[in-house]
Amino acid sequence: GAGVSQSPRYKVTKRGQDVALRCDPISGHVSLYWYRQALGQGPEFLTYFNYEAQQDKSGLPNDRFSAERPEGSISTLTIQRTEQRDSAMYRCASRRAGMNTEAFFGQGTRLTVV
Amino acid sequence: ILNVEQSPQSLHVQEGDSTNFTCSFPSSNFYALHWYRWETAKSPEALFVMTLNGDEKKKGRISATLNTKEGYSYLYIKGSQPEDSATYLCAFGNSGYALNFGKGTSLLVTP
Strand locations in chain B (E): 5-7, 10-14, 19-24, 30-38, 45-50, 56-59, 62-67, 72-77, 86-94, 99-101, 105-110
Residues of chain B with Cβ-Cβ distance to A40 below 8 Å are 87, 106
How far apart CA B13 and CA A108 sit, in angstroms, is: 30
Convert B78-111 to b/e letters by CB count within 10 Å (16 or more is b): eebeeebbbbbbbbbbbeebbbbbbbbbbbebee
In this complex, do A41 and B93 lie within 8 Å of one another by their Cβ atoms?
no
In this complex, do B43 and A99 lie within 8 Å of one another by their Cβ atoms?
no
Angle subtended at Cα B100 by Cα B34 and Cα B96, rounded to the nearest 5 degrees: 90
Nearest to A106 among B43, B46, B96 (CB): B43
Best residue in B4, B23, B45, B99 to probe A by mutation, most A CBs within 10 Å? B99
Residues of chain A with Cβ-Cβ distance to B87 below 8 Å are 40, 42
End-to-end distance of chain B based on CA atoms, in angstroms? 39
State the nearest Cα–Cα gap between B1 and chain A, in angstroms.
7
pLDDT tens by residue, B2-16: 689 999 999 999 999
State the nearest Cα–Cα gap between B26 and chain A, in angstroms.
16
**Residue A1 pLDDT grade (very low, low, confident, very high; cuts 50, 70, 90):** low
Looking at residue A79, its pLDDT comes to 98
| 3-state DSSP assignment of residue B82 | helix
**Residue B41 pLDDT grade (very low, low, confident, very high; cuts 50, 70, 90):** confident
Q: Does residue B30 surpass a pLDDT of 90?
A: no
How far apart CA B62 and CA B73 sit, in angstroms, is: 13
Looking at residue B40, its pLDDT comes to 79
Minimum Cα–Cα distance from A6: chain B residue: B43
Which 8-state DSSP code applies to residue A85?
G
Q: Name the percent of chain B lying above pLDDT 90.
A: 77
Minimum Cα–Cα distance from B34: chain A residue: A102
The answer to whether the beta carbons of residues A4 and A92 sit under 8 Å apart is: yes
**Residue B37 pLDDT grade (very low, low, confident, very high; cuts 50, 70, 90):** very high
